Amino acid sequence: MSVQLAGGSSRRVRLTYREAVRAGMRHALSADDRVFLMGEDVGSYGGAFAVSLGLLDEFGPERIRNTPLSESAFVGAGIGAALGGMRPIVEVMTINFSLLALDQIVNNAATLRYMSGGQLEVPLVVRMATGGGRQLAAQHAHSLEVWYAHVPGIKALAPATVEDARGMLLAALDDPDPVFIFEHATLYPLEGEVDEEPRPVDICRASVRREGGDVTLVTYGGSLAACLAAADDLADEGIEAEVVDLRTLRPLDMDTVLVSLGKTHHAAIVDEGWKTGSLAGEVSAQIMERGFDLLDWPVQRVCSAEVPIPYAKHLEDAALPSRERVAATVREMLV
Amino acid sequence: MYSAAKIHGFLHLYIGEEAVAVGVLQALTPDDAIVATYREHGQALARGVPAASLMAEMFGKANGSSRGRGGSMHIFDLARRFYGGYAIVGGGLPVAVGLALADRLSGREGRLTACFFGDGAVAEGEFHESLNLAALWELPVLFLCENNLYAMGTPIRQELAQPDISLRAESYGIPAEPVDGMDVIAVEEAARRAAIQVRRTGAPLFLELRTYRFRAHSMADPDLYRTKDEIGDWRQRDPIALLEARLREAKLIADDDVSALESDVAAELDHAVGVAEAGPFEPVEDLTKDVYGRSAQ
Amino acid sequence: MPTLGADMSVGILSSWLKKPGDTVQRGDIIAVVHTDKADVEVETFASGVIERMLVEPGSEVPVGTPLAVIRESGEAEPTAASEQEARLMISPSARELAHELGVDPAEVRGSGPGGRIQRKDVEAAAAARDPARPPPSAPRPAVAPQAPAAAPSADDRGAAMRRAIGAAMSRSKREIPHFYLGHTIDLSRAMSWLTESNVHRSVSERLLHGVLLLKAVALALRVVPELNATWQGDEVVRHDDVNIGVAIALRGGGLVAPAIRHTDELSLDELMHAFRDLVTRARRYSLRSSEISAPTITVTSLGERTVDTVFGVIFPPQVAIVGFGAVVERLWVSDGQVLPCPVVSVSLSADHRVTDGHRASAFLVALDRLLQEPEEL
C-alpha cells in the first residue's frame, strides 16, 4: 500500500479491492461495538479470500467469529443478532454456498419487517464472493445475484471498484435493512486509489464509468472490466461507448440508464448471469417500459452461455461474457 | 371464527398443548426473548399478547399484532420480545441462536432466548446446525421441543431413525430432559430449573416436552392418520382438566371459581372478537409500506 | 431520378407537375429536375395512376432513385389490408425524430435489418430537404468497414443544407414574380421608449429592438391582410393567425425560419421570450415541426451585420418577406431641423400575383405609424 499526498487536505492511498473491504470492516469494527464479523474461516485463516486477514488479532474471537459449515444457522444467527440490536457482517464464502441459507434469507431476512407490521428490523449485512473465471467449475462459479435482486425486502449491491468495495460496506452497515454485497472473486486483487479516510458511498445510484455517445453498456460487478476493455477496442473504430455501472442491483437506478439511452439510443446489458431470467432481462424490460421511444435498436444482452460453467479454460472463457463478445454485439447494433 | 370465514389461510390450534406454553412462560422474564412456530397462539397468549390483538390479526385487521400482515402463523410483538411466528419448520431456530448471540455480545447477562419447535423440526438441517452452533458458542438458548408425536401427518417413528429426541440434543453436548407436557406443574418446575441454569451458565439447555394436540394439524387437516382411540386416551390427560382436578383436590378452587374463570374467559374472547370485528383493514394504498426501513431517494 | 448527362450522378427534384391520383400516359411530363446545368422536364415511361411521390421537391437524390410510384392499369388498388401488411418498420426513436423534424416516415428509406428505418435514415432524409427545416442532430463518426455506407460528416450536412436552401431559393425566384418596396423609418421615439422601458427590466429580461419591429409587422399585417397568406395548391389562402417566421442563421451556414405563433397577440415581453427560446432551440436543432411549417410570413434581419438594407427572397408558400437592416444613426430632418436620428431601412418583397405596389405600400406606411407609438405595441 503506498501513500501519496494529493493537493488539499485528503490523503490518497492505493489499495487492492480486498484491502479496501478489510479497511471498511476494520473501520466499522473500531467505530461501532455493535459490529462483528462471522463466517467460515474468517478467524485465524484470515478468510477464504484473505479479506479478514489480521482482524482476529486486532478485534478478538468474540467479534471475529469462525463458524462451522452451517450457512443456514449462521446466516439465521445473523438475522437474530440483528433483531437483538447488533450490526452483524456475515461472510458467506461464495454465492454458491449461500444457497444453503436461502430459507433464512428469503423467508426470514426479507420478510420480518413487513410480516411483523413494521415492528422488527433486520440491519444485517451479508458479504459473499461471486462469479466465475477462475476454472473452479460449475459449483463454484455461479452468478446468482439476480435471485437476490428479485426479492422485496432485501437490498443487493455489486461493488466493482476499490472505492465501492470499501464504501458500500460502510453504507450497508448504516442501513436498517438486510443488505447483500456481491464481491466478484476476480476483483479482489484489483488496485485503485481512494481517500485514506474510509467513508460510506451512495448505494442508490448507478455510475457512468466512461462517457460516450454511440451506445450504452449497462453492467455490474465483474463484468465492468470487460465493458471498459470493449469500449477501448470500439473507440479505435470510432465508436464511443458509454459504460454504466449499475452498482446497486436492488433497487435498480434506471434513471441513470435512461439518461444515457437518451444520448445513445442503443443499449446492451452485460451480465455474467445466464441470459434466461437474468438481471439483464429486468433492465431490458424496464428500458422497454420507460424508454421505448428512445430506442433506435432492440436492447441486447451479453450474458453467460446457457451451460453450467465448465472447468477447461477455453470453455469457461467461451461461456462467460468477454470483451470480444461485448464489442461484437455493439458493432452489430451500429451497423 | 374460522368456520365463519372471519379467519382465512392456515390456522394451527394449540388445544391440548396448553401446559407447555403456560408452564414454560411462568419461568420467563420480560427481558427474555421468545421464538416460536406457526402454532404459537398459546405462547403468545401466555406471554401477554392481548387476545384482541391476536384475534384482530387473524381477522386480517390493521389493529392486529402484525397489522394484519402476518395472520395466524406470524404473530410478533416486539415490546413483549415475542419474535414470531415462523411457517418454515425449523426456520426459527437459527434466529433464536442469533438473539442469544446478541445478548452475549452486548454483555446482557442473565437473559435467555426460549425457542419453541416441534418434533418435526428435529429432522430439519437447521435444527442440527442451530444446536451445534448454540452449544459450540455457548449461547443462552433454552430449546423447547414440543413433541406431540406427529410431524403434520407423519408419526414420529416414521420420521426419525433415532426417535429419542433428548438423545439427539445430547449428541451436541446440550443437556436434555424429557418432561410430561400435559402436566403444567411439571412443565413449570422443569422450565424454572432449566431457566435458572441457562441464565447462570449462559449455555444452552434442551427440554423435550411430551404433549399431544387434540385437534388436527391445521384447519385444513382431516386428521386421517390418528385413531379416535388414541386421541381419546390422550384426552384423559387434558392439561386444563388435570390442573382443575388438582386444584379442586387441594381445595384451592371450587365450582364458583371455575364458573367465574370460564365466564371471564368467555367475556375476554367476546371482547376479542368484538375488537377484531370493529377493527379497520389497512388501506390498500399502504401496501408497500414497511418493505424497507429506508428506501432509495 | 433519370440520368440526363454522362457526368450526372445526382439531381434535385425541383417540382412535381402531377399529384397522387392523377392518371398519366407514357410520355407525359410529370416533374422538373434541376441539375448543375439546367432544369429539365422528366417524362414517365409508365402509364397508370400516380399512387404516391417518394421524393420531396428540393431533395437531391442519386441517379436511379425511384421518384414516384405509378400503379399501372390492371393492378389492384391498394386496399386497407394490404397497406396494413406493408407495416412501417421504424424504430421508436426514429419515429419520434421524424415527427420532430417534420419528415414523413413513409418516405424514408430504411437501412436497418429488414429495411427498418433508423435515426440516421431520418436524419439523412431531413438533410436532403428544403431549408425551412432544421438540420438533424449531431452525426456519428464513420462506422466499421462492413457498414454499407459511412454516416455523413458535419461538413457534408452543412453542404447538403446549403444545397437544399439553394434549390428552394431558385425555385422561389423562378416561380414567384417578386417586387420590392423600400422605406426608411425614424426610430427615435421607439428607441428612447425602449431604453426607458429597459431600465425597469433585469438584464435577462431586456427587450431588444427587434421585438418592437416584429410586433409592429404583426400589427401592420392586420391592415394589409393579403400579405399574411400562403399558396395552397392553386389558391392563396389568407390566415387569421399571424405567425411570423423569424429567420435564424445557424452555425455551419444553415438558415431556418420557425414561427412565433400569434405574434400579434403577444406582449413585448412574451415576444422577447419566444424569440429567445426559438433561437436557442434552433441552434440546438430541437425545433418542432409545427414551428417549421407554421409561418404565414417571414421577417429577416441583418441588423447585426450593419448592412443598411436587405431585399429578401420569399419563402414559398408564403407571399411576402419583410427585411430589416441595421439601426443606424443618420442625419434626419425632423420638425424642420437636421438631427442625427436612429433610423432603420425596411424592405418588403411581395408576390405580384397576390398584391400590388399600392396595397404593399400601405403595409409599410402602417408599419411606420406603429413604430412612432411604441408604447402602444
Which residue of B74, B99, B293 is in closest CB contact with A115?
B74
Which of C93, C112, C141 is facing A293, going by the closest CB pair? Answer: C93
How confident is the model over B100-148, as pLDDT tens digits? 999 999 999 999 999 999 999 999 999 999 999 999 999 999 999 999 9
Given A239, A297, A334, which is nearest C91 (Cβ)?
A297
Q: Are residues C228 and C112 in the same domain?
A: no
> Residues of A with CB below 8 A from C92's CB?
292-296
- Asked if residue A258 belongs to a domain, the reply is yes
Q: Domain containing C245: what range?
A: 178-376
Residues contacting residue A238 through CB under 8 Å, at least 6 positions apart:
C141, C142, C143
Residue C147 lies in a domain: yes
Q: Nearest CA of chain B to the CA of A150: how many Å?
A: 13
CATH number at residue C43: 2.40.50.100
Tens-place pLDDT, residues B197-234:
999 999 999 999 999 999 988 888 888 889 999 999 99
In angstroms, the separation between the Cα of residue A79 and the nearest Cα of chain B is 6
Instruction: Give the three-class secondary structure for C152.
Output: coil
Smallest CA–CA distance, residue C89 to chain A, in Å, is: 11
Within 8 A by CB and 6+ apart from C233, the residues are none
pLDDT at C302: 65
Shared domain check, A156 and A84: yes
Grid cell 399501372 in the structure block, residue: C72
Q: Which helix (H) or strand (E) holds C299?
A: strand C297-301
What pLDDT sits at residue B5? 80
User: Which chain B residues contact residue A78 at CB under 8 A?
Assistant: 98
The reply to whether B225 falls in a domain is yes
Instruction: Decide if A278 is inside a domain.
Output: yes
C16: confidence class by pLDDT, cuts 50, 70, 90: confident
List all chains that touch chain C, counting a touch as 3 or more CB pairs closer than 8 Å: A
Three-state secondary structure readout of B84-115: CCCCCCCCCHHHHHHHHHHHHHCCCCCCCEEE
Residue C24 has pLDDT above 90, yes or no: no
Residue C143 and residue A293: Cβ atoms within 8 Å?
A: no
Q: Domain for residue B292, yes or no?
A: no
Q: Is the pLDDT score of C84 beyond 50?
A: no
Cβ pairs bridging A and C (under 8 Å): 42
Considering the domain architecture, whether residues A327 and A295 belong to the same structural domain is answered as: yes
Average pLDDT over residues B187-195: 98
- Asked if residue C114 and residue C257 are part of one domain, the reply reads no
Question: CA-nearest residue of chain B to A103?
Answer: B91
CATH number of the structural domain spanning residue C113: 4.10.320.10
- Let me know if residue B3 belongs to a domain: no
Which of A26-40, C264-278, C290-304 is most confident? A26-40
Dihedral angle, C-alpha B242, B248, B249, B252, nearest 10 °: 120
Cβ within 8 Å, pair A116-B137: no
Q: Which residues of A carry out catalysis?
A: 71, 140
Domain count, chain B: 1
Whether B94 is covered by a domain: the verdict is yes
- Name the domain boundary from A151, A170, A195: A195
What residue has cell string 425449523? B90
A99, A116, A202, A250: which to substitute to probe chain B, counting the most B Cβ within 10 Å?
A: A116
Ranges C103-112, C126-135, C312-321: which has the least confidence: C126-135
Query: Looking at the domain assignment, is residue C1 inside a domain?
Result: no
**Test the B interface: residue of A36, A102, A119, A168 with most B CBs within 10 Å:** A119
Residues C57 and C107 occupy one common structural domain: no
**C172 assigned to some structural domain:** no
Measure the CA dihedral B279/B285/B288/B294, to 10°: -100
Q: Residue C144 and residue A265: Cβ atoms within 8 Å?
A: no
pLDDT in tens for each of the 335 residues of chain A?
Answer: 545 444 455 799 999 999 999 999 999 999 999 999 999 999 999 999 999 999 999 999 999 999 999 999 999 999 999 999 999 999 999 999 999 999 999 999 999 999 999 999 999 999 999 999 999 999 999 999 999 999 999 999 999 999 999 999 999 999 999 999 999 999 999 999 999 999 999 999 999 999 999 999 999 999 999 999 999 999 999 999 999 999 999 999 999 999 999 999 999 999 999 999 999 999 999 999 999 989 999 999 999 999 999 999 999 999 999 999 999 999 999 97
- Which of A195, A223, A258 terminates a domain? The answer is A195
Query: Does residue A140 share a domain with residue A237?
Result: no
Q: Is A285 helix (H, G, I), strand (E, B) or coil?
A: helix
Q: Which residues of B touch A121 (CB under 8 A)?
A: 293
Identify whether residues A190 and A213 lie together within a single domain: no
pLDDT at C129: 78
* Closest chain A residue by Cα to residue B70: A115
Q: Which one of B93, B99, B109 would you mutate to disrupt binding with A, by most A Cβ within 10 Å of its Cβ?
A: B99
B11 belongs to a structural domain: no
DSSP 8-state secondary structure symbol assigned to residue B67? T
Q: Is residue C173 part of a domain?
A: no
Same domain, yes or no: A230 and A149: no
Contacts of A235 in chain C (CB under 8 A): none
- Asked if the Cβ–Cβ distance from B78 to A112 is below 8 Å, we say no
Instruction: Confirm whether B12 is domain-assigned.
Output: no
Q: C146 at the A interface (CB within 8 A)?
A: yes
Given an 8 Å threshold on Cβ–Cβ distance, is A297 in contact with C144? no
- In this prediction, residue C54 carries a pLDDT of 81
pLDDT tens digits, residue range C109-121?
Answer: 899 888 899 999 9
Chains B and A touch (3+ CB pairs under 8 A): yes
B33 occurs within a structural domain: yes
Q: Which of C166, C192, C212 is the last residue of a domain?
A: C166
Instruction: Collect all residues of chain C within an 8 Å Cβ-Cβ radius of residue A335.
Output: 112, 143, 146-147
Write out the residue range of the structural domain in which residue A69 sits.
3-195
From C146, which residue of chain A is nearest by alpha-carbon distance?
A: A335
Q: Which of A172, A195, A218 is the last residue of a domain?
A: A195
Q: Is residue C247 part of a domain?
A: yes
Based on the structure, what is the number of domains in chain A? 2
Start-end of H helices in chain B:
18-26, 41-47, 51-58, 93-105, 125-136, 165-170, 184-201, 228-235, 239-249, 255-278
In three-state secondary structure terms, C252 is coil
Neighbours of chain B (3+ CB pairs under 8 A): A
Instruction: Give the model's pLDDT for residue C11.
Output: 80
Three cell numbers, residue C120: 440516421
pLDDT for the residue numbered C156: 52
Task: Report chain B residues whose CB lies below 8 A from the CB of A151.
Answer: none
DSSP structural state of residue B241? H
Q: Inform me whether the C-beta atom of residue B170 falls under 8 Å from chain A C-beta atoms.
A: no
Predicted local distance difference test score (pLDDT) of residue A242: 98
C35 plus C60 within the same structural domain: yes
pLDDT of residue C136: 45
For residue B266, give the C-alpha cell.
368467555
Q: What is the DSSP letter of C115?
A: G
Domain count, chain C: 3
C328 and C251 within one domain: yes
Q: Distance from B121 to chain A by nearest Cα, in Å? A: 14
Q: Maximum CA pair distance of chain A?
A: 60
- Asked whether the beta carbons of residue C143 and residue A296 sit closer than 8 angstroms, the reply is no
For residue C154, what pLDDT is reported? 46
In this prediction, residue C145 carries a pLDDT of 34
CA distance C143 to chain A (A): 7
Amino acid C71: pLDDT: 80
Same-domain status, C229 and C113? no
Name the residue in chain B with its Cα closest to that of A178.
B292
C163 grid coordinates: 444545397
Shared-domain flag, residues A49 and A189: yes
Does A80 sit within 8 Å of B99, measured CB to CB? Answer: yes
Residue carrying C-alpha cell 374467559: B265
Is pLDDT at C85 greater than 50 in this prediction?
no
Question: Do the beta carbons of residue A173 and residue A29 sit within 8 Å?
Answer: no
The last residue of a domain, from among C76, C102, C120: C76
Tell if the CB–CB gap between C92 and A237 is shorter than 8 Å.
no
The answer to whether residues C130 and C18 belong to one domain is no
Q: Which three cell numbers stand for residue A294?
A: 428512445
N-to-C CA span, chain B: 43
Whether residues A65 and A166 fall in one domain: yes
Record: contact A265-C138, CB cut-off 8 A:
no
Length of chain A: 335
Cβ contacts of C112 on chain A, cutoff 8 Å:
297, 335
More confident residue, A180 or C157: A180
Residue A7 lies in a domain: yes
Partner residue opposite A296 with nearest CB, options C94, C142, C143: C94
Which chain A residues have a beta carbon less than 8 Å from that of C94? Answer: 296
Whether A200 is in a domain gets the answer no
- Read off the pLDDT of residues C190-207 as tens digits, 9 standing for 90 and up: 999 999 998 888 877 889
**Domain interval for residue B49:** 18-285
The residue out of C104, C133, C166 marking a domain boundary is: C166
A202: in domain: no
Q: Is residue A31 part of a domain?
A: yes
The answer, yes or no, to whether the previous bond of B85 is cis (omega within 30 of 0) is yes
Report residue C147 as a C-alpha cell.
457498414
Report the residue of chain C nearest A335, measured CA to CA.
Answer: C147
Bridge-based pairing state of the strands C29-34 and C39-43: antiparallel
Residue B218 forms part of a structural domain = yes
- ipTM of predicted complex: 0.93
Q: Please report whether residue C171 resides in a domain.
A: no
**Above 50 in pLDDT, residue C135?**
no
Put simply, whether C147 touches A (Cβ < 8 Å) is yes
One domain, residues C162 and C183: no
Q: Which B-chain residues 56-115 have CB contacts (< 8 A) with chain A?
A: 64-70, 74, 76-78, 83-88, 91, 93-103, 105-106, 113
Q: Which chains touch A (3 or more CB pairs under 8 A)?
A: B, C
Both A191 and A62 in one domain: the answer is: yes
Count of alpha carbons within 13 angstroms of residue B272, beta-carbon side? 22
